[in-house]
């Protein structure tokens, strides 16, 4: 029973397997079956916003990589395709009617730097 999906996602992000990128749907199915993640923990809104921004940043990077690879496979490479890998971008997160605007910089393949703007 997942009552607050944001709290649950934060706890998923904090697992060692997630940090090491050792995850797939079977991993998540196993966690759900074992009830390894409990959602009763209260997490402050600032932490939730930061975790959500990090998650969206990671997903954006994965999508950019996939789109780039698809363009290459179709022979559609151009210099504009490189813009898919912008090193700096903004992510907006709204929690309890409060908007958090993050300036995100991709510092390495799997690292991000974030600051509130």
14-69 pLDDT per residue, tens = 888 888 888 887 887 887 778 777 655 567 888 889 989 998 988 888 888 888 88
Over its C-alpha atoms, the chain yields an Rg (Å, rounded) of 17
65-88 pLDDT per residue, tens = 888 888 888 887 666 556 556 678
CB burial of residue 56 (10 Å; 0-12, 13-18, 19+): middle
Q: What's the confidence (pLDDT) of residue 80?
A: 59
Residue with tokens 């898919």: 84
């Amino acid at each position: 029973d997942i009552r607050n999906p944001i709290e649950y996602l934060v706890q998923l992000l904090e697992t060692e397997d997630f940090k090491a990128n050792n995850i797939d749907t079977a991993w998540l199915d196993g966690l759900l079956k074992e009830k390894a993640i409990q959602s009763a923990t209260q997490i402050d809104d600032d932490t939730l916003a930061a975790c959500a921004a990090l998650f969206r940043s990671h997903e954006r990077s994965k999508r950019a990589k996939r789109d780039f690879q698809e363009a290459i496979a179709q022979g559609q490479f151009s210099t504009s395709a490189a813009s898919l890998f912008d090193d700096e971008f903004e992510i907006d997160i709204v929690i309890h009617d409060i908007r958090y605007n993050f300036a995100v910089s991709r510092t390495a393949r799997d690292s991000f730097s974030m600051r509130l703007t």
